[in-house]
Chains A and B, each alone.
Chain A
């Protein structure tokens, strides 16, 4: 039981490049989330998926897209990376009220 896994762990992009962050959970949870963590800002919700087939915007969705591929997987895509998207990205899943977090992806955009 791996819980929530994220790939890659680290990534450096140049401005304008695109990439997809992958997230998978093996706990059969309905809800999945993408957050970004920035110093002094805490965690901010980018997008979430309450159940397979649905996605909704969070606090800071601009510049991102998501895909809930199936119940296990929820990916986050940056179409044209900007330096302001330099951050640590966390995926989480939940069933009921408790959230389980992945180890994070540290993304640097130069």
Chain B
């Protein structure tokens, strides 16, 4: 069975500081991993994905994420947070083959303080 855990309901960070939003996953076989962002009253927007290759993937708006197979983690990072980064962030996983089902985490609310 597939599962995703986002252990923090909310992360607060000061503007200009680095941010990390945590995600761990469980999936049989190779994973496809994703981060999405949701702004108030909007649908989810794709940020980045890991399919294969380099463990550090870069995405939209200066975000990046590091795939760590041994720790089954895919943490989202940004070197310098902006107030406009404040939103709800979702991690998602899908098996690389045999299914089109995506499993999402419960979301982490990021609050960047000016």
Residues of B within 8 A of A42 (CB): 6, 90, 104-107
Report the minimum CB–CB distance from B3 to chain A (whole Å): 11
* Distance of A90 Cα from B38 Cα, bound (Å): 12
Report the minimum CB–CB distance from A33 to chain B (whole Å): 7
- For B, the interface residue count at a CB cutoff of 8 angstroms equals 24
A-B contact count (CB 8 A): 56
Residues of A within 8 A of B34 (CB): 97-99
Known contacts A42-B107, A43-B90; is A99 also within 8 Å of B45 by CB?
Answer: no
8 Å CB contacts to A: which residues of B98-114?
100-107
Interface string of A27-53 (1 = CB under 8 A from B): 000010101000011111100101000
Contact B100 A31 (CB under 8 A): yes
- For A, the interface residue count at a CB cutoff of 8 angstroms equals 26
Residues of A within 8 A of B107 (CB): 42
Closest to A9 in B: B41
B22 on interface, CB distance cutoff 8 Å: no
Residues of B within 8 A of A31 (CB): 100
Contact partner, A48, options B6, B44, B45, B101, Cβ 8 Å: B101
Interface string of B38-49 (1 = CB under 8 A from A): 000111111001
Besides the contacts A48-B101, A92-B44, A101-B36, what 14 more A-B pairs have beta carbons closer than 8 Å? Answer: A4-B43, A33-B102, A35-B104, A41-B106, A42-B105, A45-B101, A48-B100, A58-B101, A59-B103, A97-B51, A99-B46, A101-B43, A101-B44, A101-B45
Q: Could you give 10 example pairs across A and B, Cβ below 8 Å?
A: A4-B43, A41-B106, A42-B105, A43-B44, A45-B102, A45-B104, A90-B43, A97-B51, A99-B46, A101-B43
Q: What are the 3 A-B residue pairs with the smallest beta carbon separation, nearest first? A: A101-B43, A42-B106, A43-B104
